[in-house]
Amino acid sequence: MIQLFKMAFRNLGRNRRRTFFSSLALGMALALLLLMASVIEDEMGTAIESAIRLQSGPLQVRARTYNESKTILKWEDLIENPDQIAAQIAALPPVKFATPRLFASGFVSVGNESAGVRVYGIDPLSEANAPYRDGLVSGEFITPDDREGLVIGWALADKLGLSAGDQVNLSVNTSNGEVDEQLFTIRGIYTTRTPGFDTFTVFLPLAKAQAITQAENHASTIFVMLKDTAQTDVVVQALQGSKYEVLTWLKMNELIVQTEDLASSFMIFFYLIVLSISATVIINTLIMSVFERTREIGILSAIGMKGGRIMAIFLAESSLIAVGGIILGLILGGLMVAYMSKYGIYIGNMGVTGYLLSDTIYAKLTIKNTVNLSILALIVTLLAGLYPSFLASRMEPVEALRAEK
């Protein structure tokens, strides 16, 4: 076996430039795939983390008839006495905190400009609001007893040309199907670096949101954060049997999970296409090598070397090309991923709704993706070497010797 690879290495050294560019083609393909896999890994992970952190949380408790897509405000579809229910849930050992939230649809307007928003009625003192409170870029966060203040996202403020301290009209749907309007002062402007959330989300104190929507002592959901997500099933079991529905983050983020599965399936085909293109370069290299060494192959056959042995030599050559390409690919891909991981690429607001994309694309390289893509590159290269190897092994000694004359 060692002698076989020595011969293969010597043969590849006959035309170093062609061998190098063959390995480089595979390396560039692998580097590109590593970068793409890393970007997708980061984007999918960030989207799920953002959805859990900003919207769903690990768990939510809702009325069984509540329909989030319609932002229902009928009392029978809401949770009555939400503070009491939240306190009972928070008393469970695995629960870190539980806080009620009220959702309503509406729009803000200033002058001739307006924008549709989703109103979040929240308890400003709850730990659940840390992502918004910590993301303040100007002004201050609302307080529980504030009746004339709200907090808006930086993307929305930039769109409407607003600053902290400005006043806006907020119109919201109420529980009886009407629309109520009030002038509010912007207490603060926040950013989560997720334009799909910041552009459409406005925060009010829960008491004020209940008053303006005429929901009174009701909430849309109880947002539940756990000390350990591994205890999710334990908490779900503890809350089963109540008149309310318990939803996990998987159920609430089905769109993201399905998109991730679809993207993973699609990328497999894309990986194969890119590697197949690089494989054509390797096939061409080995076929040229076969025709250049026709007389040599004839001599080897004439002195008794079996076709399988000749085939093994060319497969060894393709293996060495693959190893060289993989090493180059890991180096180039590692450098590109390192740059993307540190600096990223700012994309701003892509206008995607229902999917919380960050305003900056980063990359996250995993051992799993590195190993899988390296193995895939090796397999594709070996398959690419099969035809030239078979072609060399099937040559007749007499014809091979005659062809070089």
The answer on 186 and 92 residing in a single domain is: yes
Domain finish residue from 242, 271, 297: 242
Give me the DSSP letters along 187-254. Answer: EEEE--S-HHHHTTEEEEEHHHHHHHTT--SEESEEEEEES-GGGHHHHHHHHTTSSEEEEEHHHHTH
The answer on 268 and 185 residing in a single domain is: no
pLDDT tens digits along 356-379: 777 788 899 899 999 999 999 999
Contact 55, 354 (CB under 8 A): no
The answer on 109 and 210 residing in a single domain is: yes
Domain finish residue from 216, 242, 268: 242
User: Is residue 250 in some structural domain?
Assistant: no
Domain finish residue from 220, 242, 264: 242
How many structural domains is the chain composed of? 2
- Kindly indicate the confidence band of residue 405, based on its pLDDT and cuts at 50, 70 and 90: very low
Give me the DSSP letters along 62-74. Answer: EETT--GGGT---
**pLDDT mean over 27-40:** 92
The answer on 128 and 8 residing in a single domain is: no
**pLDDT mean over 300-329:** 84
The answer on 281 and 204 residing in a single domain is: no
User: Is residue 350 in some structural domain?
Assistant: yes
The answer on 314 and 234 residing in a single domain is: no
Q: Smallest Cα–Cα separation from 62: which of 222, 216, 210, 224?
A: 222
Instruction: Output the average pLDDT for the chain.
Output: 86
Task: Spell out the residues 6+ positions from residue 119 whose beta carbon is closer than 8 angstroms to its own.
Answer: 102, 103, 104, 105, 106, 170, 172, 202, 203, 204, 209, 213
The answer on 285 and 217 residing in a single domain is: no
pLDDT tens digits along 76-106: 889 999 999 999 999 999 999 999 999 999 9
Backbone angles phi, psi at 222, to 5 degrees: -110, 115
User: Is residue 234 in some structural domain?
Assistant: yes
Indicate the range of 151-160, 257-266, 276-285 predicted with least confidence: 257-266
Residue 243 has pLDDT above 90, yes or no: no
**pLDDT mean over 227-234:** 82
Structural domain boundaries enclosing 183: 65-242
User: Is residue 323 in some structural domain?
Assistant: yes
The answer on 107 and 40 residing in a single domain is: no
The answer on 120 and 192 residing in a single domain is: yes
Give me the DSSP letters along 52-63. Answer: IIIII-SEEEEE
User: Is residue 60 in some structural domain?
Assistant: no
Higher pLDDT, 24 or 301: 24
DSSP three-state, residue 167: strand
User: Is residue 59 in some structural domain?
Assistant: no
User: Is residue 324 in some structural domain?
Assistant: yes
Indicate the range of 89-98, 216-225, 256-265 predicted with least confidence: 256-265
The answer on 223 and 111 residing in a single domain is: yes
The answer on 101 and 25 residing in a single domain is: no
Higher pLDDT, 397 or 299: 299
The structure tokens listed for 171 are 């119109």
Residue 182 has pLDDT above 70, yes or no: yes
- Measure CA of the first residue to CA of the last residue in the chain; give whole Å: 32
User: Is residue 219 in some structural domain?
Assistant: yes
The answer on 169 and 313 residing in a single domain is: no
